[in-house]
Amino acid sequence: MRVAARLRGYGRPRELVVRYVVLTLVLALMVGPLLWQLLSSLKGDGEAIFGDAAGLIPREPTLEAYQTVFDQAPMARYMLNSLIMCALTVTSQVIFPTLAGYMMSRQGWRGRKAVYAVLIVSMIFPFESIMVSLFMMVRDAGLVDNLIGVWLPGAIAAVNVLIMRATFDAVPDEVEDAALLDGANEWQRFTKIYLPASVGAMMVVIINSFIAAWDDFLWPFIVLRSENLFTLTLGLSRMAESSLGYDVRIVMAGSVISIAPILILFIVLQRWFYKGVAEGAVK
């Protein structure tokens, strides 16, 4: 009876079947390529990856491709550089947009609407339209072939400032009024009310910033020259162009390695990722 009542809560059985069929198709389209990539990287030398003779499941799974990647390419160095970039980017994207979003949510100061308009306009132009001017600024600052030169132009994203502003605007005024009656100063209201209310939004900023920094290819390709400073995306590109690139299994293994940190980050942060702003505000 309880199962039937629960099913009625989700809709009629036919609608439920259609819903699950659609979700299964979406899941197959999203996970299918990743699963094929993982299984292909586990195949041995004698197994076909493409063509009629290729099978999905490896006959004799092996980690030889992963061993070759780490033996013949400085993957550990590439991953360390990418992690450094992600740490710098996530730190700046959390601290500065949070502070800026809080200040923009405060009422009564002159120029608030102008700053908001500038942020909106800055999001209209694609990165490629300002890429040349950014590179000239980085070059004049002496940051070419430097990880700081890769990080600095993307240290703060306008979209993250707007996300945090919207989050702080959603906090009920009654909560802050109660804190004012209790004698809380500006810093106490920010740390005790607004920061707990922004946990969900901050997790979104962290995950999006990490993915953007980890997957970035074009800007590091323009700025970096020395191979010991290459990020993982540049290292995989160099590997695909070298003699190792002729072995598809090795390229697949390198791609799986590049995806793993993103999956781990999301698995670790997903419980906070789905927290609502209202729940944090009540706390």
Which pLDDT value is given to residue 241?
Answer: 66
| Residues 6 or more apart whose Cβ sits within 8 Å of residue 186 | none
With tokens 């100061």, the residue in question is: 109
Nearest residue to 246 (alpha-carbon basis) of 35, 70, 39, 49: 49
Mean pLDDT per 10-residue segment, the chain (283 residues): 54 80 87 83 78 75 83 85 94 94 85 87 87 92 93 91 90 85 86 87 88 91 91 83 66 83 80 54 42
Which pLDDT value is given to residue 276?
Answer: 45
Question: CA–CA separation, 35 vs 276, rounded Å?
Answer: 32
Which pLDDT value is given to residue 2?
Answer: 57
Question: CA–CA separation, 233 vs 217, rounded Å?
Answer: 6
**CATH code that applies to domain 67-282:** 1.10.3720.10
Domain ranges of the chain: 2-62, 67-282
pTM here? 0.80
Question: CA–CA separation, 238 vs 225, rounded Å?
Answer: 12
Q: Which residues of 133-171 are buried (b: 16+ CB within 10 A; e: fewer)?
A: ebbeebeeeebeebbebbbbbbeebbebbbbbbebbebb
